[in-house]
Amino acid sequence: MATTSVMPLSLTQLAAGTPWWIYALVIAGLALHIGGGSIAILSGYGAVSVRKGSPLHMRLGKAFAIAMLFMAVMGTVLSIPIHQRGNIGGGVLAGYLVITGWMTVKREAGTIGTFEKFAALVPVGVSALFLLWGIQATMNGGKLDGYRSPLYYTFAFAAAIFALLDLRTILRGGISGVQRIARHLWRMCFALFFAAASFFLGQQKVMPKFLHGSPILVGLALAPLAIMIFWLARVRHPNWFRLSRRVQSQTAGRGIIADKVAGA
């Protein structure tokens, strides 16, 4: 997914004399893409901010998943006619992350199905495509479609990691408990990162000039990754946080006793 444009296609890219219904389809596609991305960012940040497993978390999670799918599908479809390779591969990868993340909690714990086996082929194909595009960029002076080769190699590597994790889950016959929650968590957070980076870093031209290149936008774009690391640590090592709360409670208790002694 290229992070330089949140709109894969604009009306200015349509040739003169294009039928009106093509314009209508493009406008509808852009509306679904932009609207889906906006809702996904808002609902995604909301979902990671509320108590996990609560009714509000589930409602926000559903809104995020549906909105992300609209954004990913429309972004991919609109990118195909103008050959924006990064957005095509990124759109497919974002949709894959959302669907597999959703299915992780819908599938019965400790089981695996046909869906997961076929879904694992998606990151394999995306990784191969990004690797191919990276090689083409390298052989073309270091750029392809305006993007440098490291971008393609980075996404090829990330997709390959996703595929390997899928393979491990399939070979184990499914996952349960903490691992199941963690798989759902990191996939949804990565998908949110795709949406946030595309908007806050890739669409700065629609924002006030004083925000262009601002650390604020970088922080908002990278926040999903920081949130992901926090929650993964909390899910996998809950004792750390219990110990931290216990220490804080004991410290506060000693402080109260010290104040009473000093007052006496």
DSSP 170-232: HHTT---HHHHHHHHHHHHHHHHHHHHHHHHTT-GGGS-GGGTT-HHHHHHHHHHHHHHHHHH
- pLDDT one-digit tens code per residue, 191-213: 999 999 988 988 888 788 888 88
Position 9 confidence tier, pLDDT thresholds 50, 70, 90: low
Is residue 209 domain-resident?
A: yes
220 compared with 205, residue with greater pLDDT? 220
Is residue 227 domain-resident?
A: yes
Is residue 259 domain-resident?
A: no
Is residue 100 domain-resident?
A: yes
- Looking at residue 147, its pLDDT comes to 85
29 compared with 185, residue with greater pLDDT? 185
- pLDDT one-digit tens code per residue, 89-118: 999 999 999 999 999 999 999 999 999 999
Mean pLDDT for the stretch of residues 168-183 = 93
For 117, the token pair is 């086996």
Q: Which residues, at least 6 apart from 136, have a Cβ–Cβ distance to it below 8 Å? A: 144
How many whole angstroms separate alpha carbon 221 and alpha carbon 145?
A: 23
Is residue 103 domain-resident?
A: yes
For 71, the token pair is 């954004």
- Looking at residue 122, its pLDDT comes to 97
Spell out where 21-176 has E strands. 143-144, 147-148
Q: Is the pLDDT of residue 181 over 60?
A: yes
* Top-ranked range on mean pLDDT: pick from 14-18, 82-86, 214-218, 238-242: 214-218
Q: Is the pLDDT of residue 4 over 70?
A: no
How many whole angstroms separate alpha carbon 218 and alpha carbon 175?
A: 34
Position 167 confidence tier, pLDDT thresholds 50, 70, 90: very high
- Looking at residue 2, its pLDDT comes to 45
- What is the number of domains present in the chain? 1
- Looking at residue 253, its pLDDT comes to 47
Is residue 185 domain-resident?
A: yes
Q: What is the distance of C-alpha 47 from the center of its chain?
A: 13
**Residue that has been written with the tokens 């083409």 in this structure:** 136
For 134, the token pair is 């990276």
Q: Exposed/middle/buried for 262, CB within 10 Å: 0-12, 13-18, 19+? A: exposed
Q: Which residues form the domain of 206?
A: 11-110+175-251
- Looking at residue 145, its pLDDT comes to 84
- pLDDT one-digit tens code per residue, 115-164: 999 999 999 999 999 999 999 999 999 999 888 999 999 999 999 999 99
The pTM score is 0.83
- pLDDT one-digit tens code per residue, 39-65: 999 999 999 988 888 899 999 999 999
Q: Is the pLDDT of residue 242 over 70?
A: no
Is residue 128 domain-resident?
A: no
- pLDDT one-digit tens code per residue, 65-89: 999 999 999 989 888 887 788 889 9
Is residue 145 domain-resident?
A: no
How many whole angstroms separate alpha carbon 137 and alpha carbon 43?
A: 36
**DSSP state string for 56-89:** HHHHHHHHHHHHHHHHHHHHHHHHTTTT-HHHHH
